[in-house]
Amino acid sequence: MPTPQIRADVAAARDGDDEAFQRLVEATYSDIFLLAARLTRNHHDALDVVQEAYFRAYRGLIDFRGEARFGTWMHRITVNCANTLLARRSRYRYDQIQQDFVDLNGHYYPERRFDDTEISFEVQSALDDLPANLRAVVVLSDVFDLAHAEIAKQLGISTTAVKVRLHRGRKRMRLAVQASREINESMATDDDLYGASRAV
């Protein structure tokens, strides 16, 4: 449930109080930026998405009636902004992923969380390669730990669609990680054989 201060700031901002809107930005910025960074995989793109998301929120606040929490509403706007940005680009750069979901055997386990120092290139690439609609569901579920019903609200889709996209996204990531690990292991074996042949 939104705090009394959030509700008061939403009401004041809707009446044109810019300071109240700034407080809403400050209260939600960290979470919104993290979501944008996860979706775009790029620091600068994330900043652009966040700026656009708050701009849209400022313009659309007059129509926000409080059926959802302000943070939930901002999540939905941020996902839409990120999808718009990614759709405009055929290629874009990524920043490092901040969490990993892979064990030592290369299997994808969304319930497993690692600290920022344990970054897997395979997982980052697998997440990056997901279509935007699948990536959004995977990020909201496995990074933000949101329930299926909450994700459905934020994305404006059914709970069934969330489950289907999440299953497809995780499956694609699992297969991509496994394939990448197999290729790397094969290359390492070839290098070992080459080194051994030179030593003979």
CATH number of the domain residue 190 falls in: 1.10.10.10
Q: Specify whether 43 is located in the same domain as 86.
A: yes
Q: Specify whether 149 is located in the same domain as 52.
A: no
| Nearest by Cα to 37 from 119, 104, 95 | 95
Percent of the chain with pLDDT over 90: 27
> On the CB side of 29, how many CA atoms lie within 13 Å of its CA?
11
- Residue range(s) defining the domain that contains residue 23: 1-94
| pLDDT for the residue numbered 2 | 60
Instruction: Report d(CA 125, CA 57) in Å as an integer.
Output: 31
Check pLDDT > 60 for residue 172. Answer: yes
Strand partners, 108: 102
Q: Specify whether 100 is located in the same domain as 40.
A: no
Instruction: Report d(CA 82, CA 60) in Å as an integer.
Output: 17
Q: Specify whether 130 is located in the same domain as 59.
A: no
Indicate the residue among 41, 71, 94 that finishes a domain.
94
Q: Specify whether 112 is located in the same domain as 199.
A: yes
The radius of gyration computed from the CA coordinates of the chain, to the nearest angstrom, equals 20
